[in-house]
Amino acid sequence: MQGSAPAADALGDSSARRSLLTNGAADEPQATVNGNIAELQQMIRDAKVKELRTTYNGSYGASMLFYPDEMTFYIALFQQKKFWRVVKTQVDSRAETIYADFAKNSAALADTEIRRTKLEAEKNFADRLIAVQQGRANRLQADLDVARAQQSQVADRQAEQQEAIRSLRAQQDAAQAQLRALQTKVQDLQRQSDVDLMPLPK
């Protein structure tokens, strides 16, 4: 006998990986139908079953629980806090087979979820690497901009110095030329003065 419709919450926080019997399953509302799902929830609420096996795959999982008083196994397939399917049997081998099948189903069902989780992690990791490299690139660009600005200032300063040197040399050449001209003029005036001061012939 089996129930297949989604029913009331069975698990607490599945990420905590707590026992199916201690994670608040009995505190959730019962299913609206009197099937295996509702029966198992009542068993959990009354602490009549023992958890034998549980497999988790992402938010999916499978559990095998045992009711000793009637030697009955309850095998459940769940997703997050919801029992999805519950199969009831008194045959040990059938219980093991169904549990293995449910565990395999939970792995298949979780495959997309797990791949998405991994891809999100890879994307977040890549985003962090991009941010680190972008920060490094920004710092290097800032250093390069400063170096180029400084280099430009140095080049401008050197050009100013060279222009000043050329101007001073031109001024020096003009001064030297003026000095030579004055020296020549002084010499000429001196000679004229000497001639004028010579005694007149008697």
- Measure the CA–CA gap between 200 and 25, rounded to whole angstroms: 147
| pTM score of the predicted model | 0.54
Give the residue with greater pLDDT, 114 vs 197.
Answer: 114
Structure tokens at 201: 């012939």
Give me the residue spans of the domains in the chain. 2-111
When mean pLDDT is compared across 26-30, 33-37, 125-129, the lowest value belongs to 26-30
pLDDT at 57 over 80: yes
When mean pLDDT is compared across 12-16, 64-68, 115-119, 135-139, the lowest value belongs to 12-16
| DSSP 8-state secondary structure symbol assigned to residue 26 | G
pLDDT for the residue numbered 50: 97
pLDDT for the residue numbered 179: 82
Mean pLDDT of the chain: 82
Alpha carbon separation from 174 to 31, 40, 168 (Å, rounded): 112, 114, 10
pLDDT for the residue numbered 83: 94
Label residue 43 by pLDDT band (50, 70, 90). Answer: very high
Helices (H), the chain: 36-45, 92-196
pLDDT for the residue numbered 117: 86
Alpha carbon separation from 60 to 24, 106, 141 (Å, rounded): 17, 5, 49
Q: Percent of the chain beyond pLDDT 70?
A: 80
Structure tokens at 129: 């690497």
| DSSP 8-state secondary structure symbol assigned to residue 9 | B
pLDDT tens, 158-179? 888 888 889 888 888 888 888 8
pLDDT at 146 over 70: yes
Beta bridge partners of 47: none
- Measure the CA–CA gap between 92 and 127, rounded to whole angstroms: 51
Nearest to 13 by CA among 1, 3, 27: 27
| DSSP 8-state secondary structure symbol assigned to residue 23 | S
pLDDT at 3 over 70: no
46: Cβ–Cβ under 8 A, 6 or more apart, which residues?
A: 26
The mean pLDDT value for 97-118 works out to 93
Name the residue type at position 172.
Q
Residue at token pair 């007149």: 200
